């Protein structure tokens, strides 16, 4: 117990003072947590508070954020060619930075990161591993990661995952994510290793092959699934086509990321696979900052690891309660050291929650709405902003169960024009679909847009379309 207390103190001091976090110390804390859970069934409150931070108190939160922003900006001004110039151009003294003055520094966009990526590498850092985004929202960005980051990030997640009962030594995690997402793949495999669980990396392969793996029995039976909402939709359709249900699987958790997860798809997947389905948020550029949804549908951001803002798309100013904005994230040092970003505009849309106390299971941590889609997919019609989630929630709730929903959308004459595939309509008239949208407060016109060859190239790109072919279906 004394040794555990010393390890907790070392971690706390690293967080408070902004010193590099020892991955070895975290590994030992993971072992301590697993041993404690085996004996007592619950972690100590002191460790849980260490993970969630002092964010229930607004004053303590602000002091922590001011210190972390200054530490992060101070290092970047010395080591990052890009941010050294950016801070100088903005006339900002990193040592005087606060949450009130940070807006003087322009946000960083993906295009800049792609075009000037070498300027984002910190001097003195030692690149070890590179990871690319999937490219579904444009040219992929490439991020270099140091060996320290590659070791620390999974260890932080593993400790949190054990304490929150998100992963157990007895688990087997199946990863159906793109093999190009190197950081996410490495993260998942290392997390499993640290906890002592199993990991099965399959990638985005034909869904029936992944489904066969999910049907594995015994010690190798997957109990955790990490994938994209659109690929989960393909798995769900395959399972239903084969007449499979919850008694055929051993899953207890399905974690989705990278796309909008509709309520209808989440409910259907939970029913078919017999597992809890979670709508999380994270992206390569801002790792290891992530967010998790609570039972009431709020998105709670990990404020120990990064500073989170929600900015107006037009003015760049913080949005008011209830308003729509883009999530802007600054990962703190010492969590990022090799190729950090500062005020990175993710272009993921959320709404700021009303100014009233939260009553959810994660109420101690500030939150926003769930991700509503990308800014590039936002439609403005008749004075209303229509998000990707607005469209997907209605479409994937149709009786045709068109999972994943494929559509194209534009605005003409102040009205949304929605182009759907035959699979989405599947017996429904365009008028019936229009009436369903009208009931949700969206006035639009629907057309059937399947091309002559049956292709769907005009529809929104989905990560499930990043299919990695195999020889499994090859006949001798």
Query: pTM score, two decimals?
Result: 0.92
In a domain, 157, yes or no: no
What CATH number does the domain containing 207 carry?
3.40.50.980
DSSP assignment letter at 33? H
Residue written as tokens 């460790």?
Answer: 47
Whether the ω angle into residue 155 lies within 30 degrees of 0, i.e. cis, is no
**Quick check: 160 and 128 in contact, CB under 8 A?**
no
pLDDT, tens only, 212-237: 999 999 999 999 999 999 999 999 99
Q: Are residues 358 and 315 in the same domain?
A: yes
In a domain, 27, yes or no: yes
Whether the ω angle into residue 404 lies within 30 degrees of 0, i.e. cis, is yes
What CATH number does the domain containing 72 carry?
3.40.50.12780
In a domain, 473, yes or no: no
pLDDT band at 50 (very low <50, low <70, confident <90, very high): low
In a domain, 156, yes or no: no
- Length of the chain measured in residues: 476
What pLDDT, on the 0 to 100 scale, is given for residue 295? 87
Q: Are residues 321 and 360 in the same domain?
A: yes
Q: Are residues 293 and 209 in the same domain?
A: no
In a domain, 133, yes or no: yes
In a domain, 475, yes or no: no
Strand intervals (E) in 170-305: 172-176, 198-201, 224-227, 253-256, 276-279, 291-293, 299-301
Would you call 270 exposed, middle or buried from its count of C-beta atoms within 10 A (0-12, 13-18, 19+)? middle
Q: Are residues 404 and 386 in the same domain?
A: yes
What pLDDT, on the 0 to 100 scale, is given for residue 454? 46
In a domain, 154, yes or no: no
Q: Give Dmax (Cα) for the chain.
A: 71
Report the b/e string of 197-216 with b at 16+ CB within 10 A. bbbbebbbbbbeebbebbee
Structure tokens at 464: 């499930």
Range of the domain at 394: 378-465
pLDDT, tens only, 337-355: 999 999 999 999 999 998 8
What pLDDT, on the 0 to 100 scale, is given for residue 42? 64
What pLDDT, on the 0 to 100 scale, is given for residue 12? 65
Domain end (from 262, 279, 296):
279
In a domain, 300, yes or no: yes
Number of domains the chain is built from: 3
Q: Are residues 97 and 218 in the same domain?
A: no
Q: Are residues 73 and 129 in the same domain?
A: yes
């Amino acid at each position: 117990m004394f040794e555990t207390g010393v390890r907790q103190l070392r971690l706390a001091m690293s967080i408070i003072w902004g010193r590099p976090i020892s991955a070895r110390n975290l590994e030992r804390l993971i072992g301590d947590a697993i041993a404690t859970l085996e004996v007592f069934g619950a972690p100590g409150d002191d460790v849980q508070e260490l993970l969630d931070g002092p964010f229930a108190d607004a004053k303590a939160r602000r002091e922590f954020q001011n210190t972390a922003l200054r530490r992060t900006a101070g290092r970047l001004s010395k080591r990052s060619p890009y941010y050294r110039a950016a801070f100088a151009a903005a006339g900002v003294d990193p040592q005087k930075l606060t949450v009130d003055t940070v807006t003087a520094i322009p946000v960083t966009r993906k295009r800049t990161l792609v075009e000037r990526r070498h300027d984002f590498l910190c001097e003195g850092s030692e690149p070890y591993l590179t990871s690319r985004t999937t490219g579904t929202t444009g040219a992929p960005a490439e991020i270099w990661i140091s060996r320290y980051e590659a070791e620390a990030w999974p260890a932080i997640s593993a400790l949190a995952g054990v304490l929150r009962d998100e992963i157990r030594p007895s688990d087997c995690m199946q990863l159906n994510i793109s093999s190009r997402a190197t950081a996410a793949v490495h993260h998942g495999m290392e997390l499993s290793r640290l906890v002592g669980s199993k990991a099965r990396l399959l990638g985005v392969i034909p869904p029936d092959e992944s489904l066969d793996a999910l049907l594995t029995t015994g010690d190798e039976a997957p109990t955790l699934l990490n994938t994209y909402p659109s690929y989960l939709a393909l798995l769900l359709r395959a399972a239903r086509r084969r007449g499979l249900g919850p008694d055929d699987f051993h899953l207890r958790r399905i974690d989705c990321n990278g796309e909008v997860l509709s309520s209808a798809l989440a409910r259907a997947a939970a029913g078919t696979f017999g597992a809890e389905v979670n709508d999380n948020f994270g992206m390569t550029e801002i790792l290891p900052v992530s967010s998790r949804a609570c039972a009431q549908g709020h998105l709670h951001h990990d404020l120990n690891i990064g500073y989170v803002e929600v900015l107006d798309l037009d003015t760049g100013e913080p949005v008011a309660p209830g308003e729509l904005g883009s999530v802007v994230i600054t990962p703190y040092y010492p969590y990022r050291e090799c190729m950090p970003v500062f005020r990175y505009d993710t272009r993921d849309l959320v709404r700021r929650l009303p100014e009233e106390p939260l009553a959810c299971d994660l109420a101690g941590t500030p939150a926003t709405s769930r991700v509503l889609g990308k800014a590039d997919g936002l439609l403005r019609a008749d004075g209303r902003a229509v998000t990707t989630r607005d469209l997907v929630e209605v479409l994937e709730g149709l009786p045709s169960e068109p999972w994943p929903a494929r559509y194209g959308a534009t605005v003409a004459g102040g009205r949304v024009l929605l182009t759907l595939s035959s699979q989405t309509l599947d017996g429904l008239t365009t008028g019936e679909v229009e009436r369903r949208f009208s009931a949700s407060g969206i006035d639009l016109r629907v057309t059937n847009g399947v091309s002559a060859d049956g292709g769907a190239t005009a529809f929104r790109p989905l990560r499930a379309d990043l299919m990695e072919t195999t020889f499994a279906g090859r006949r001798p």
